[in-house]
Amino acid sequence: MQILDAVLGWGTVALIIALPVLLGAVGLIVHFSSKPVEEKYATGGGGLAGGFAGGLEEVFSPTAHDSRAELDRMTKRTAPSPAPSDPPWTITGDRIRIDV
């Protein structure tokens, strides 16, 4: 009878500890898998996507992780230099913009 009580007691403790961990993991998986890539990264690079959940995203949603990496690369690119034959101004409708 004592062994049964010990097993039930430790089983209850293990269930109480494991249930929130399992629900949190499932919640993160659902959160990062249910949104389209454009909505996931509409904001800056901070928040959950930059920390611990970034590793989870790389495992469970590699397409979204690759898209984020490509977006970062595109953001850091510099604008191309103008060609020597291009004029230093642009005329658009009634506006003239002088490029400095």
Q: Is residue 78 predicted with pLDDT exceeding 70?
A: yes
The DSSP output letter for 46 is: -
Percent of the chain with pLDDT over 70: 80
How many helices (DSSP H) and strands (DSSP E) are in the chain? Answer: 4, 2
Q: Is the pTM of this model over 0.75?
A: no
- Helices 52-60 and 62-76 cross at an angle (nearest 10°) of 120
**What is the tens place of the pLDDT at every residue in 45-54?**
544 445 666 6
Q: Say which residue, 13 or 68, is predicted with more confidence.
A: 13
Q: Is residue 17 predicted with pLDDT exceeding 90?
A: yes
Given a contact cutoff of 8 angstroms between Cβ atoms, the answer to whether 12 and 44 are in contact is no
